[in-house]
Amino acid sequence: MHRAAIILSAALALPACSRTDPYADKPAQAPPEVVHAAEARAEKAADRLARALIDELQRATAEGGHAHALQVCRDAAESIRTDVSANERLDIRRTSLRVRNPANAPDAWERATLEAWAEPGVTPAAVSAVVESAGSIELRWMRPIMLIDLCVNCHGPADRLAPGVPEALARFYPYDEATGFSAGDLRGAFSARVPLD
């Protein structure tokens, strides 16, 4: 993780981000107890978002199979995310190096974190950084999402996708990059911004 930490600090210091864009994140500081409390809030929000997404996935799959569930997830994913964010008073989302929905594409810090986790020999684990963003101090936090068997129905290799899923993907996600995964793969991350002031 030491190496990952170096890569992550480098990503925050990218000159293109800090000098030209007033809304870009800049490295900042906060007392350790404030950081720990914010990390705990992000953990809780990620658990809630994971639970809400899985509940909806299982409900929709029982209702009409995986292709139907895929369509339900497409319609519900964003409102589930914004509901959890509002309830937890932070901003949480999912991201990945290979996205299904282009709106979930990573920013520079998220990309650097995901790339560091994908290095050989690295066991992905939660990371955080205190930043100043548009005049506010925030904790940025990410936790890995690993793929389990259930996910292969919609994110697996072509021959493992559930019936109807390839057609639903072609229709709703023509730019999908999120197939070809196996159980145990790093699929992506929960990523949160927690306000500290």
Lookup result for tokens 């699929």: 187
**Which one of 4-12, 33-41, 125-133, 140-148 is the stretch in contact with ligand HEC (CB under 6 A)?**
140-148
**Does 193 interact with ligand HEC (rule: CB under 6 A)?**
no
Region label for 95, one of left (φ > 0), alpha (ψ between -120 and 50) or beta (otherwise): beta
Q: How far is CA 67 from CA 44, 51, 59, 100, 139, in A?
A: 30, 20, 13, 15, 37
Tell me which of 45, 97, 112, 178 binds ligand HEC, using CB under 6 A.
178
Q: Is 143 one of the binding residues for ligand HEC (CB under 6 A)?
A: no
Buried/exposed code over 28-40 (b: 16+ C-beta within 10 A; e: otherwise): bebeeebbeebbe
Give CA–CA dist 190/193, Å, rounded: 10
Kindly write out the interface string for residues 67-96 of this chain, putting x where it contacts ligand HEC by CB under 6 A and - elsewhere: --xx--xx--x----------------x-x
Smaller CB separation from ligand HEC, 85 or 130: 85
Report the amino acid identity of residue 44. Answer: K
From candidates 37, 101, 137, 160, binder to ligand HEC by CB under 6 A = 101
Shortest Cβ distance from residue 51 to ligand HEC (Å)? 11
What is the C-alpha to C-alpha distance for residues 168 and 157, in angstroms, rounded to an integer? Answer: 15
- Taking CB under 6 A as the binding criterion, the range among 34-42, 66-74, 107-115, 128-136 that sits at the site for ligand HEC is 66-74
46 contributes a contact to ligand HEC by CB under 6 A: no
Six-digit token string for 127: 């990371």
Looking at beta carbons only, is 7 or 103 nearer to ligand HEC?
103
CA–CA dist 130, 39 (Å, integer):
11
Residues that bind ligand HEC (CB under 6 A): 57, 66, 69-70, 73-74, 77, 94, 96, 99-101, 104, 145, 147-148, 150-151, 153-155, 178, 187-188
